Amino acid sequence: MNNFQYKNPTKILFGKGQIANLSQEIPQNAKVLLLYGGGSIKKNGVYDQVKEALNGVEVVEFGGIPANPEYEVLMEALAVIKSQNIDFLLAVGGGSVIDGTKFLAAAAQYDGDTPWELLTAGKPVAKGMPFGAVLTLPATGSEMNSNSVITRKETQEKLAMSGSGIFPVFSVLDPQVISSIPERQLANGIADAFTHVLEQYMTYPIGALLQDRMAESVLQTLLEVAPAILKDPTDYQAASNFMWSCTMALNGLLPLGVPTDWAVHAMGHELTAMYGIDHARTLAIMAPSHYRFNFEAKKEKLAQFAERVWGITQGSVDEKAHAAIDKTEAFFHELGIATKLSQYTDEFQGTAETIEKRFTDRGWLGLGEHQSLKPSDVAQIVTMAY
């Protein structure tokens, strides 16, 4: 097992009715900017719960953060933060709203020329305005980590940042909020969390027994609750396990002491930036091809995945590993998620070459757990996903 250091300062308020405790978490006399997305929180009752909980707190609102938080929209919110002398942010939404809020937290205290540099510089974000979150869509784990991914339409870029300065101070997780989420978004959330775990697990054995079994337990739980969630999102027990699995999938516990591989996300982000495809669906497009291309490097872990998660005990290492990839792709299909780029756009030709050039221009010359995946390899993987 590799050396590691770990600190996660985010306080979690989990369970029914926890939104009512918001006022106890907001600093006294704070001026709060309430950030949300397209307005669904006003239809499902979450907005009213939040406003009631913040009775007596000075609140300014900013809505309209899109599903892939867009830089230009966030710059409008940043102007509000500065003009209104905001000193605390509250994200009420899914991963996109929370990611956007993290960007704003960092941008509000950024001294450089343009906040976009926070994403292009590749440096950890050490300081940010304090913020909390009320999670409305389990998927990204953004409620308990310091990761943020932002899209810029004018350049068709989708870039990430992270750092100790942009952990939420607290996050409220009430599983009841998912009762009104459309099936497509629920399926996305399941696929997103599932792939988050794979990115931290599907590398090579390193003797981290507990880490492997923790990852496998999250995968097994997602597989178990997926049918119940899609059938009846008001099933509180299923919703609770789903929500907590999404958080555990990306709160920094699973990658401790082990190699990780975020190439699927890197490639998937480009598909979202270029074609506007849902983030989770880009992961489902790229993951099977990525594992097939890198089969030799990953087959030991793939075979372990087959045995422990899928219950495949017969066959050679190669046979079990291939079966695991097939099972994973079939699971995405069961969620109603297509796994080929051509099923999302007729303009897929040339995508591989565009992504290869982008990675080369950025200096992303070695992705994957061995940092050996060249831009030309990426092009082959994307082509396999057509």
What sign does the dihedral 194-196-202-206 (CA atoms) show?
A: negative
201-243: pLDDT as tens digits: 999 999 999 999 999 999 999 999 999 999 999 999 999 999 9
Phi, psi of 88 (to 5 degrees): -150, 140
161-214: pLDDT as tens digits: 999 999 999 999 999 999 989 999 999 999 999 999 999 999 999 999 999 999
Instruction: Decide: helix, strand or coil at residue 196.
Output: helix
Residue type, position 323, single letter: A
300-353: pLDDT as tens digits: 999 999 999 999 999 999 999 999 999 999 999 999 999 999 999 999 999 999
Q: What percent of the chain has pLDDT over 90?
A: 96
Contacts 24+ apart (CB under 8 A), 356-359: 356/382, 358/270, 359/266
pLDDT on residue 98: 97
Instruction: Decide: helix, strand or coil at residue 130.
Output: coil
For residue 71, what are the contacts with CB-CB under 8 A and spacing of at least 6?
Answer: 116, 150, 151, 152, 153
95-107 vs 71-83: helix crossing angle, rounded to 10: 50
114-130: pLDDT as tens digits: 999 999 988 999 999 99
Chain centroid to Cα 71, Å, comes to: 18
Instruction: Write the burial class of residue 361 (CB in 10 Å: 0-12 exposed, 13-18 middle, 19+ buried).
Output: exposed
Look at residue 113 and tell me whether its pLDDT is greater than 90.
no
236-269: pLDDT as tens digits: 999 999 999 999 999 999 999 999 999 999 999 9
Region at 311 (left for phi over 0; alpha for psi -120 to 50; beta for the rest): left
Q: Beta-carbon neighbour count of residue 379 at 10 Å?
A: 20
Q: What is the mean pLDDT of residues 367-376?
A: 96
The residue behind tokens 């981290």 is 208
Q: What is the mean pLDDT of residues 84-98?
A: 96
pLDDT on residue 232: 96
Look at residue 38 and tell me whether its pLDDT is greater than 90.
no
Q: What is the mean pLDDT of residues 10-22?
A: 97
Spatial contact of 219 and 167, defined as CB atoms under 8 Å apart: no
β-strands 147-152, 157-162: how paired? Answer: antiparallel
User: For all residues of the chain together, what is the average pLDDT?
Assistant: 96
Chain centroid to Cα 79, Å, comes to: 26
Q: What are the angstrom distances between the C-alpha of 170 and each of 23, 132, 253, 264, 286?
A: 12, 5, 17, 29, 33
pLDDT band of residue 55 (cuts 50, 70, 90) is very high
β-strands 11-14, 170-173: how paired? Answer: parallel
| pTM summary value | 0.95
Q: How far apart are CA 28 and CA 23, in angstroms?
A: 9
The residue behind tokens 């308020």 is 13
Reported as type and span, the H/E element at residue 194 is helix 183-201
pLDDT on residue 39: 83
Spatial contact of 139 and 180, defined as CB atoms under 8 Å apart: no
